[in-house]
Chains A and B, each alone.
Chain A
Amino acid sequence: MRRALIAAVMVVSAPALAQLVTFPGVGGGSGGVVVSTTGPVNLTGTTAETNLASLRIPANSMGKNGVIELKCLWSYTNSANVKTHNYRWNNTPGGGVSITSSGPTTTATAQAFLIIRNTNATNVQVTYNTPLNPFGTSGGTPTTNLDTTQDTWLNITGQLALSTETLTLQRATATVFPAP
Chain B
Amino acid sequence: MIRIALLLWAALLLAMPATAQVGVAPPSGFIVAATQGQTSVTGTTAETNLASLRIPAGSMGRNGHVEVKSLWSYTNSANNKTLGGRLSATGGNISGTSLGVALATTTATAQIMWVIRNNNATNSQTLWGAQPVTPFGSSANALLAPAIDTTQDTFINLTGTLALSTETLTLVHAYAVVFPAN
Chain A residues at the B interface, C-beta cutoff of 8 Å? 25-32, 63-67, 115, 117, 119-120, 126, 128, 134-141, 177-180
Contact = CB atoms under 8 A, between A and B. Distances in A.
A179 B28 contact: no
A27 B25 CA distance: 13
B34 interface: yes
A12 B30 CA distance: 43
**What range describes how many residues of B lie at the interface?**
35 or more
A65 B34 contact: yes
Chain A CB within 10 Å — which of B29, B32, B135, B177 has the most?
B32
B155 interface: no
B25 A31 contact: yes
Interface in B92-120: 102, 104, 107-113
B63 interface: no
B73 interface: yes
Nearest to A175: B177
B29 A126 contact: no
Interface string B73-89: 10000000000000000
B141 to A, nearest CB: 16
A64 B36 CA distance: 8
Given A67-B175, A117-B71, A136 B28 contact: no
Contacts of B108: 140
Interface in B29-46: 29-30, 32-38
Contacts of A177: 25, 30, 32, 34, 175, 177
A145 B175 CA distance: 20
Contacts of B66: none
A119 B109 contact: no
Given A65-B35, A65-B173, A120-B37, A31 B113 contact: no
A119 B132 contact: no
A67 B172 CA distance: 13
Contact of B112 (A63, A135, A138, A180): A135
Contact of B29 (A26, A65, A136): A26
Nearest to A25: B28
Contact of A141 (B25, B109, B113, B135): B109
B166 interface: no
A119 B174 CA distance: 10
B172 A126 contact: yes
Nearest to B105: A137
Given A26-B30, A126-B173, A66 B25 contact: yes
B100 to A, nearest CB: 13
Interface string B60-77: 000000000101010000
Contacts of B136: 135
A136 B36 contact: no
Contacts of A179: 23-25, 32-34, 175
A177 B175 CA distance: 9
A65 B135 contact: no
Contacts of B38: 119-120
Given A26-B29, A137-B102, 18 more contacts: A26-B30, A27-B30, A30-B28, A31-B27, A63-B23, A64-B36, A65-B23, A66-B25, A67-B69, A119-B172, A135-B133, A135-B136, A139-B111, A140-B108, A140-B109, A141-B73, A177-B25, A179-B32
